[in-house]
Amino acid sequence: MRLYDKIKWILGILMIISLVITTNLVDRNNFLRINAAIETIYEDRLVVKDLILKISNHIHQKEIAAIRSDSNFYSIQNAQINNDIENYILSYDQTKLTSKEGKILDELKTNLVELREKESEFVESAYSQKTALLSQFPDIRKNLDALARIQLNEGGRQLEISRKAMDTVDLFTEIEIYVLIFLAIVIQIIVMYNPKRE
């Protein structure tokens, strides 16, 4: 094999290798974006949705106990429920929060502190003055509803990011096929080309 033929083969192989490496790097980047979006949907949206549901259930139990003036609830269960809610809030704080979500979560924390204060006043009043306590629950429900809507919106946004990344992967895959066909033809021409000697 002559030096000229060797150079033609090397150029052809280098063109294919560079194309494969380039497309692999682009595909890898897009797959990382898809993976990050999926992890965010699970860790920062679905898990948080579960936390919101658990907090909401506990708040509902507290509201029922306040309406019924249930002294057993306040003497036996309330401290544990407060502890559970606090742990759920701490877990929520560990996720990636949007700025609006952080603001609403701070409002919720403030409302929960006020709720505990009003519960103490309610217990001290021998379960007779519940108006102030009951007025606190709508604010907390409003916060929880807003946080739940944010989870849905952010989950949809992350899903859209992953769809765009998949569309990009599909586009690059199609381009890669056409470029490989083109390069195969170019390599065939390079290899078959035999300049006439004088």
- In tens, the pLDDT along 64-96 reads 999 999 999 999 999 999 999 999 999 999 888
What's the pLDDT at 191?
66
Residue 94 DSSP SS3: coil
Question: Mean per-residue pLDDT for 133-141?
Answer: 95
For CA atoms 40, 44, 50, 53, give the dihedral sign: negative
**Distance from C-alpha of 62 to C-alpha of 74, rounded to nearest angstrom:** 9
CATH fold of the domain at 3-192: Four Helix Bundle (Hemerythrin (Met), subunit A) (1.20.120)
Q: Is 185 or 61 the better-scoring residue by pLDDT?
A: 61
The fraction of the chain above a pLDDT of 70, given in percent, is 91
- Tokens for 163? 């769809």
Q: Does this model's pTM top 0.75?
A: no
The amino acid sitting at 135 is S
Question: Mean per-residue pLDDT for 110-132?
Answer: 92
Are the C-beta atoms of residues 27 and 172 closer than 8 Å to each other?
yes
Helix axes 137-192, 99-124, angle to 10 degrees: 160
Q: What confidence category does residue 113 fall into, taking pLDDT thresholds of 50, 70 and 90?
A: very high
- Tokens for 165? 């990344």
The residue extents of the domains of the chain are 3-192
Are the C-beta atoms of residues 62 and 78 closer than 8 Å to each other?
yes
What's the pLDDT at 193?
65
Question: Mean per-residue pLDDT for 149-154?
Answer: 88
Question: Mean per-residue pLDDT for 48-69?
Answer: 94
Alpha helices in 41-77 (DSSP H): 47-68, 71-72
For the chain, strand residue ranges (E) read none
